[in-house]
Amino acid sequence: MDLIQALQPLVERGLGPIAIVAGVFARLSALVFFLPGMGERTVSPRIRLAAALAMTLVLTPMVMAAHPVAPETPSALTLALCAEVLCGALIGFSIRIALYAIQTAGSIAAQHLSLSQIFGGGLDDQPEPPIATLMMVAAIAVAVATGIHFKAVGALAVSYDVMPFGTFPGAAETGRWAAERAGFAFASALSLALPFVILGFMYNLAIGAANRAMPQLMVAFVGAPAITLAGLALLAATTPLLLSVWLDMVDRIFATLMGAPL
């Protein structure tokens, strides 16, 4: 009992730093869950846990210096952890939405290449067109190779200036943010798929003219292989440029997280 009483001041002194570490880890865990590359189901949970712990060790001293006052009661700590999870999820989703944009672009491209009915295994549990899966895998590989995880850590460090430790984001600001990100994602998806949309429009125009000129010819049986071949050739030719445009879009998202306008 004497030893426990002697250690009691040390335990009370350490509760504050432990609470801050738990809060930082909660925000990081939510971010890693959505982060492209680290947040995929194919990545082992142990790897994601190790990455979150490593980044927690890096960010904790900075958060302690900026926010030295930690929650003291269990209820305050619970609210702070919930706020940290929500903040991390918002930051991670704002990055993840770039991956949703290129996935939607792949689905639009498959629709215009007559390949939308061909489904295969995707990166998640839901099947999707192979073109969408190909674009997603390529985008994740390029993003990881260009250091998206380092950019995410930098954005998370800056996020404490906008969303302080243990503070819930405002409902109005969150709603406006979600609407802006959704519009940005759909506009970006259509921009990325624009070459395939143009190709599909030209194909439908040509197939309509051929059908009017030769009604007895089954133009669909001739046109379907042609549009598929032309679409695959266009995919091979434009994928490097599309990935470059997509990386610029990701950089714009990180610039927004750093405080620049979208």
Residue-wise pLDDT for 203-226, tens only, equals 778 777 776 776 666 666 667 777
Label residue 11 by pLDDT band (50, 70, 90).
Answer: very low
CA-based nearest residue to 80, from 160, 175, 178: 160
pLDDT higher than threshold 50 for residue 10: no
Mean pLDDT to the nearest integer, 119-148: 76
User: Residue for token digits 């998206």?
Assistant: 148
Residue 7 pLDDT: 41
pLDDT of residue 101: 87
Write the DSSP string, 92-149: HHHHHHHHHHHHHHHHHHHHHTT-TT--B--SSSS-B-HHHHHHHHHHHHHHHHTTHH
pLDDT exceeds cutoff 80 at 27: yes
Domain ranges of the chain: 2-257
Buried b / exposed e along 116-133 (16+ C-beta atoms within 10 A): beeeeebbeeeebbbbbb
**Global pTM?**
0.76
Given this model, what pLDDT does residue 127 score? 64
pLDDT band at 65 (very low <50, low <70, confident <90, very high): confident
Tell me the chain's radius of gyration from C-alpha atoms.
Answer: 24
Specify the pLDDT at position 103. 86
The CA distances from residue 37 to 28, 96, 184, 196, in Å, are 15, 10, 21, 26
Q: Could you read off the pLDDT of 236-247 as tens digits, one per residue?
A: 888 888 888 888
**Tens-digit pLDDT profile for residues 78-127:** 888 888 888 888 888 888 888 888 888 888 888 877 766 655 555 565 66
Q: 88-102, 120-134, 148-162, 243-257: which has the minimum mean pLDDT?
A: 120-134
Give me the mean pLDDT over the 34-63 stretch. 78
CA angle (193, 196, 201) in 5-degree steps: 125
